[in-house]
Chain A
Amino acid sequence: MKIAIPHIHYLAIAPVLILFGAALVLLFATALVRTKVSQRIATLVTVTASAAVLVVTYFQWRCIDQVGATTTIAHAIVLDGFSVVATGVIAASLLMASLVAHDWAVRERIAGVEYQILALASTAGAVLMTQANDLVVIFLGLEILSIGLYVLVAFDRQRATSAEAALKYFLLGGFASAIFIYGAALVYGATGSTNLSSISYFLGSNVLLRPGLLYAGGALLLVGFAFKVAAVPFHLWSPDVYEGAPTPVTGFMASVVKVGAFAALVRVLISSLGTQMDTWRPILWVLIVLTTLVGASLALVQRNAKRMLAYSSINHAGFMLVGVWAGTVRGIAGTLFYIVTYAPTVVATFAIVTLMGGLGDENHSIDSYRGLARRQPWLGASLGVLLLSQLGAPLTTGFYAKYAVLASALDSGGAPVALIALLSAAIAAFFYLRWTMALYAEDTIEATRVVVPASTGVAIGLGVAMTLVFGVWPGPLAALAQHATVLFTP
């Protein structure tokens, strides 16, 4: 018996190889090198790997430009504009997050370099999710992503809440993975394939007389994703985990994980179940309304910065779903634009929260931000800009992100859902502004100046620069998102 080895397009899987390779290099180095591998070297490896991935995405983009999008490894992996841009965002987020984590590890006197190893491995999983063209590969990516993350969330051994959050995340995450794989099995049963394009082809050329199995499978897949992106009512883990996890990990989760999960969600719903749009759109509609409104409303009552940002990120997830709901090329571009702009903003925000957390990562009350902008104008103004961007104020990327998804919704006849989402942004404005107001409050509490270490400063600077530059001139990013099409659209 001869085993046919499928053709492998190495450029397509280069990002995964680089990230996972870097993780392995670090892992072996810690085991084999006699002296301790320093944080500095680990961070350097991570930054180099992410930069290398960014370079690779450039060549991938050129390759797609010249010979078009393609699939590889028996159609399990797809190389298209969408995956390339999503990969680029993930790499950039990892780069920024690892810079933040470096200073955090130094501050907390963490000896090992496991953080960077796990982050690299998790990121490889996220990248795999953006490229997956098969339910099983998506599941693989999801697990690679999640398992590293479970450990990362528990990374702060000084705090019990960290372990608690990890356990919660692990239990619920495991449950969600099970639901996802069960959904994949049901879809396989209904269509005879796990390959997204085959599923789409099957559904396009056959009429299911008894679609119950497919619907059940699709619904379970949606639940699995809704858990990962923290859509209401599957969001209950997110505030606790965001609060309990070490702050740099929270920033990592809010960016890298979200990008990976959303990329896979878009592929499953559009590429494979695009023909069933009329069935899943109403469900998504309800999810969006719940996610945006509940996320914004519950954030109002939080006094803890990390919890508040957790609910705010739930609200943002609702906005990203709006583009998916639209289901058009414009909608996908809108969601992608949202992800591209949200990721750097949120990493930079959590970078500042990490700094403010102080030794022990405990000091996260909103009150501790009072007068920050008076004491340290640059740091305060940076946080102000990042918050205003998440609020959706013009001249920041946040405005165009909301604009892009809402425009796509209106293009597909979704004025009500767009209006509801936008009104939730008005609710959300309340707590962003309250926080901003605290930054500029006069009655400064007795507080020492926060030292901004160099690499965290670079990460914050990158995030703020992205927010402002593309906020004033969104043209290039908008064009990029528009050209980053998904290969298989119905």
Chain B
Amino acid sequence: MHSSLWLTALLVVPLAGALVAMLVRDREGRAYLVAVVTASVEMVLALFVAVLYNDHIAKAQTFDFATRHVLAAPFGLAYDVALDGISLLMVVLTAIVVLLALLGARDRRREPAFVSWLLILTSMTMGSFIAHDLLLFFIFFELTLVPCYFIISQWGGAERGKAALKFFIYTFTASAFLLIGILYLGFLHQHQTGGALSFAYGALSTTSMTHSTAIWLFVAFAIAFGAKAPIWPLHTWSPLTYAEAPTAGSIELSALLAKLGSYGLLRFAVGLLPLALPDMRPVVMTLAVIGILYGSALACVALDLKRFVAYSSLAQMGFITLGVMAGSKIATVGAVLLMFNHGIITIGFFLIIGYIETRRGSIQIRDFNGLQGPAPVMAALFTLVMLASIGLPGLSGFVSEYLILIGTFATHAWWGVFGAFGVVAAALYLLWAYQRVFHGRAVGANATMTDVTSKERWALVPVVVLIVALGVFPKPVLDRISPSVQQLIEHVAPSGVSK
């Protein structure tokens, strides 16, 4: 067991960085420098934690770095953090996302405030992933809304106000169900044990409840996480929000915050309410498959590139949900891996779209044609990211989608079959969009567009490396996820349903 100070540092470092960045507003670019240094330190910390995380403990107990301090006993509020293989991957993703968002999607308008909000958001997201207590998780989960709201409403596109409001209200409303669910579970546990009010994950996972209670709680949790992820039909906020947010905001939202939804679904809805699973599995998996097909269909007809990625994300989140809910170990491991891979792939997409937007001031697909002539490197990078998203063997997307599909097929064959259509559809919409944007003969403004600069290339290097590395050699990552998933699945299905 390692010291929990590592996790606390992950929380505090971005906050400290945000404070410093806010205070050094005297000269241009200094706040940015502070932010990049902070994000780098955070990255190093996250990697350190990843190295320290000892999967040998896995045999007995997969949570590491744990601590618990009660902050307000009457409220059952406690600072309770811990890390297992699943959250470890999300912690690393969080650190990567903020670093790349800063490096690749710099926004010079009122930079100190912008980078401060980004760093605060990082801290809150870290908190959500390392929280080992439902109330603490909820607090961080809600808190991510505030920086997001300000980032969208102040640095977004023309309809930023509307998008920010829609995003906030949508998620806030959905999380009302989560809070009520958490409170209900906490009191149920307290009434059973007669002890103090507590929302500790470990304690609550032993709560016994009736079948119908489990169903209600699952529905409440699923609404909150489904809106965040987003799962069809709770996705309607996402296209507008992704399109209007500044590039860094879109990256944070789709690469990272969406994962809060699927992570919460796995950790809290599936992990704490196994009784509801037999009934809820078909429902949520059906929604996931609808999301895959619906997202793919709309991605085909999306008019601008950001909405295009938003709909393709809906499809990808459908795959993740499928894996999370399928109940087999392979599918769940695949889902966790896809959370990470989709995050990296989305960073790639949004960074490139951001580059195009700064050059052309437009993201409308019909404005582009034949970009691979003037910008071959950009086209090549886009191709790589796109192929990873399609699931080409040898790239990261393939491993995770493959695991999800075979896992799902083993337990829920028909959902696996219809989900697999999503892979075909992904090839369709991605290649078609690629053709429209990059193929053909470039004329007018398209012909004079410059290729990616070396600075922009460097921001994409980690994306490319991760896409290839995790496609060829995902074992180190899988080794860290598997024991944690195993433990979760065993808890959910003690009779050994896992395959």
Contacts and interface: CB of A to CB of B under 8 A. Distances in A.
Interface of A: 330, 333, 388, 393-395, 399-400, 403-404, 406-407, 410-411, 415, 418-419, 422-423, 425-426, 429-430, 433-434, 437, 440, 473-475, 478-479, 481-482
15 contacts: A393-B142, A400-B72, A400-B77, A407-B197, A415-B180, A422-B180, A423-B173, A425-B176, A426-B169, A433-B149, A433-B169, A437-B164, A440-B150, A473-B72, A475-B72
Q: Give the dominant DSSP class at B's interface.
A: helix
B180 A479 contact: no
Given A481-B74, A482-B74, A429 B150 contact: no
Across chains A and B, which 4 residue pairs bring their CB atoms closest together, nearest first? A426-B173, A422-B176, A475-B72, A394-B139
Interface in B149-186: 149-150, 153-154, 161, 164-165, 168-169, 172-173, 176-177, 179-180, 183-184, 186
A318 to B, nearest CB: 15
A218 B18 CA distance: 55
B234 interface: no
B29 to A, nearest CB: 20
Contact of B179 (A422, A429, A434): A422
Given A426-B176, A433-B169, 17 more contacts: A333-B74, A393-B142, A394-B142, A404-B75, A407-B75, A410-B180, A410-B183, A419-B177, A422-B176, A423-B176, A433-B164, A433-B168, A434-B165, A437-B164, A473-B72, A478-B75, A479-B74
B149 A410 contact: no
Nearest to A419: B180
A395 B139 CA distance: 8
Contacts of B142: 393-394, 399
B183 A407 contact: yes
Interface of A is mostly: helix
B143 A478 contact: no
A474 B72 contact: yes
A327 to B, nearest CB: 15
B71 interface: yes
B153 A437 contact: yes
A333 B73 CA distance: 13
A459 to B, nearest CB: 25
Nearest to A394: B139
Contacts of B418: none
B6 interface: no
Interface in B377-393: none
A411 B180 CA distance: 11
A474 B165 contact: no
Contacts of B71: 473-475
Interface of B: 71-77, 139-140, 142-143, 145-146, 149-150, 153-154, 161, 164-165, 168-169, 172-173, 176-177, 179-180, 183-184, 186-187, 197
Contact of B161 (A400, A418, A437): A437
A48 to B, nearest CB: 33
Contact of A479 (B72, B140, B153, B154): B72
Contacts of B140: 394
Contacts of B149: 433
Contacts of B164: 433, 437
A393 to B, nearest CB: 6
Contacts of A482: 74
Contact of B172 (A407, A429, A481): A429
B187 A410 contact: yes
A423 B180 CA distance: 11
A418 B176 CA distance: 9
A233 B14 CA distance: 48
A479 to B, nearest CB: 6
A429 B168 contact: yes
A434 B153 CA distance: 10
B184 to A, nearest CB: 6
Given A393-B143, A406-B179, A478 B74 contact: yes
Given A388-B146, A394-B142, A478-B72, A430 B180 contact: no
A13 B184 CA distance: 41
A476 to B, nearest CB: 8
Contacts of A330: 74
Contacts of B161: 437
Contacts of B165: 430, 433-434, 437
A481 B74 CA distance: 9
Contacts of B72: 400, 473-475, 478-479
Contact of A393 (B146, B177, B179, B186): B146
Contacts of B169: 426, 429-430, 433
A479 B183 contact: no
A475 B71 CA distance: 6
Contacts of A406: 179-180, 183
Nearest to A440: B154
Nearest to B109: A442
Contacts of A399: 139, 142
Nearest to B168: A433
A393 B183 CA distance: 17
Contacts of A394: 139-140, 142-143
A429 B164 CA distance: 12
Nearest to A422: B176
A411 B187 contact: yes
Contacts of B187: 407, 410-411
A474 B145 CA distance: 21
A162 B442 CA distance: 69
Contacts of A426: 169, 172-173, 176
